[in-house]
Chain A
Amino acid sequence: MSGFDESLLDDADETVRVRFVVNGRKVACEVAPRETLVDCLRNALELTGTHAGCEMGACGACLVQLDGQAVHACLMFTVQADGARIDTIEGLTESGVIADLQAEFHRRNALQCGFCTPGMLVNAHELLSRVTQPSREEIRDALSGNYCRCTGYEAIVDAIDAVAKARSESGGAT
């Protein structure tokens, strides 16, 4: 048996219904199969914290968490995410899990125009959940797919480094 319906081919501009959990809320959208996840998040769901930069996986501005892992929202079509759990910068902000990272980015001026910041934060969040005390080298390596055209990265690395140290100090106490 096969689930493939040949009439699909005659109707290439159809929309399909996609359901997923975005920032903890169940969401259903009608999307064209060619619509990327970043476009769906920004246009249909009005979650504009996820930025569309290069749209080819080079700049990292569109990173979101898909089932708990950082991925480029420009490198997948919304239909591929059907049934998945997606957390955007808005969700991570609301839940407070990156509050210390955000405060440290702010304190150290680790952004100027801010376009790259959501992607930087999603990536830094993933790094720190995987490696509790990354070296500066490891931080730089983790950020190698995130472009920042303003800061020269130094303050961003400083901020992530400071949060890693603060977390492991307070983590030692609990």
Chain B
Amino acid sequence: MISYILNRIAWAVPMLFLVSVASFAVIQLPPGDFASAMVAEMRTQGDVVPEGTEERIRHEYGLDRPIYEQYVSWMGKIVLHGDFGTSLGFNQPVSNLIWDRLFLTVSISLASLILTWVIAIPIGVYAAARQYSFLDYFFTIFGFIGRGFPEFLSALILMWFAYSWFGMNVGGLFSPEMQNAPWSLAKVIDLANHLWIPLLVLASSGAAGLIRIVRANMLDELNKPYVETALSQGLTEWSVIWRYPVRVALNPFISTIGWALPALISGDVITSVVLNLPTTGPLLLKALQSQDMYLSGAFILILGAFTIIGTIVSDILLAISDPRIRYR
């Protein structure tokens, strides 16, 4: 088991290196570089830029050095100082821009992921165990509607309800007066008042799809002979179901936790835009549109790192839950 984990971690190192190279390549992709872009920006703002400024900036930032030296210095700053460079669009260090949003994004998304599982797994298990019952059909209909209904639309509808029926201030995560207030109990309550809409929207659409998958996986497992064996030992039907087939049917989910992490950061952009959430999705979108290369490079690097970390986490969880993988 320990050698298995070490093996996984050892593999992650070259993968992380490749991801960082790819992110760096993305930063270098657009024609021109940071210096020419800066000079161009100064010119558009009407500044008189003396000859040689571009070269001076380029030298100052080390952009005239060979590409691998630039890579090493970029990575070195990230690893040693958490410095991802400067966003051209915002004229701020990238790290100022992303960490707050990243924290909010990860908390919202994790909360909605957990809510999704809490809703979907019991319903999916029940729908499989009582296949073709009234509730099974009911949840099937709910599932199809939930799958087919765009998230941003349900977000809009919920916002309208919250606004016109409860007179709530909607959109964003905080009321305007709380936006810059220090953290306090009142601010937390304010956050909870705003948080339920995005959570509900994200969780219900996620749950709708997940119910179908849990149900299908469970139907496969329920017909396996080991279920009959467990019944023949005298366990009740539900304790058989929760102890045996659910354990096996959930393995596919455990193995996809790794993909959930990056999806948490880049996903749900439209919903976030509609709900005006200060998450990373809209920022990434903006960064890509405005060719803000250090910002988008930082995102790509973080997404890649999260994918790798997530995969390691799900590999380890899977090995804990399924002995057949551990001893391979």
- A associates with B: no
Residues of A whose CB lies within 8 Å of any CB of B are: none
